[in-house]
Amino acid sequence: MIPAPFDYLAPTTVEEALAALGQHGDDAKILAGGQSLLPVLRMRLNAPEVVIDLGKIDSLRGIRDDGDALVIGAMTQHSVVEHDALVAEHTTLISKAVEHLADHQIRHRGTFGGALAHADPAGDLGAPALALEAQFVIAGPGGTRTVAADDFFVDLFETAIGEDEILTEIRVPKHTGWGATYEKFVRVAHQWPIVAVAATVRVEGGTIAEARVGLTNMGSTPLRARAVEAALVGQPATEDAVRAAAAHAAEGTNPPSDLNGEAAYRSHLATVLVRRAVLSAAGSS
């Protein structure tokens, strides 16, 4: 299986990439690491006339400390994020999620921004980005704008990025000292999660002071489990208290039914995985 023919552009700056996007509009597709796009092109689910490769734009790579946040360049490979000491210390939840994303070879090529912009509801990065209240920096012909995680994910494979825009970096507020766990349920190695839970909590003297919980594959976008978060705050980090809060995990979700499980099964799974993730996160903070 090979892709349909396309013209290939490899700009070296964001400005050049935006100009190319402006010129070709609808007919163009942005190529980041290609680990989701190339299978789509090979299966001919999409056949753009022009592919704009961001791989030669060095300014889109790297991770930097920006005071109260870490800034992750959109083209930073998963394997770089996975092994980054700043990410591990200040946004532990991201380290935990990236560690088991796809497999080694895919993590060497796939990019942090590419995966988020692809917005697969079963992707592993959306729920942590929501839980950590990440901000998405998007460049367009009129300059850059910043979109909050809550407004970034619009629908299945759809984000707030406009057709003439490019995601350039993701700002993740530091959660230094927060415990974090990404609990992913799969049947076989490197499968997309059937359901996964991203949990990060701050524990003070045995009590949960703050909690953030994100859900993967429980709807057409990643979701925040706000009812769980509200129920956890002020509670002791004990099995009983966390179990009671986790009972709210499926509230406001709309999980899919497919060969891997019915919606009701996923709803049940969410309560189990939230309990495990929160208890583990509380134990590691």
Determine, following the binding rule CB under 8 A, whether residue 226 of this chain makes contact with other proteins: no
User: Which of 12, 59, 105, 238 lies at the binding interface for other proteins (CB under 8 A)?
Assistant: 105
Determine, following the binding rule CB under 8 A, whether residue 246 of this chain makes contact with other proteins: no
Q: Nearer to other proteins by C-beta: 64 or 83?
A: 83
Q: Is 62 left (phi over 0), alpha (psi -120 to 50) or beta?
A: left
- Beta bridge pairs of residue 137: 146, 169
Return all residues near 258 (Cβ < 8 A) that are at least 6 apart. none
- Beta bridge pairs of residue 203: 208
In the region spanning residues 133 to 192, those forming contacts with other proteins, defined by CB under 8 A, are 189-190
Contact stretch for other proteins (CB under 8 A) within 16-24, 31-39, 160-168, 234-242 = 31-39
Determine, following the binding rule CB under 8 A, whether residue 51 of this chain makes contact with other proteins: yes
- Beta bridge pairs of residue 50: 7, 28
Q: Are 210 and 250 in contact (CB under 8 A)?
A: no
Using CB under 8 A as the criterion, what x/- string covers residues 61-80 for binding other proteins?
Answer: ------------------x-
Determine, following the binding rule CB under 8 A, whether residue 10 of this chain makes contact with other proteins: yes
Contact stretch for other proteins (CB under 8 A) within 97-105, 200-208, 212-220, 256-264 = 97-105
285 secondary structure, DSSP code: -
DSSP H helices, the chain, are: 14-24, 37-42, 78-82, 85-90, 92-99, 104-109, 112-118, 126-131, 149-152, 226-232, 239-246, 263-284
Determine, following the binding rule CB under 8 A, whether residue 38 of this chain makes contact with other proteins: yes
Least CB distance from residue 88 to other proteins, whole Å? 16
Least CB distance from residue 100 to other proteins, whole Å? 9
Return all residues near 41 (Cβ < 8 A) that are at least 6 apart. 3, 4, 6, 47, 48, 51
**Residue ranges in contact with other proteins by CB under 8 A:** 1-8, 10, 31, 34-35, 38-39, 41-43, 51, 53, 55, 79, 102-106, 108-109, 189-190
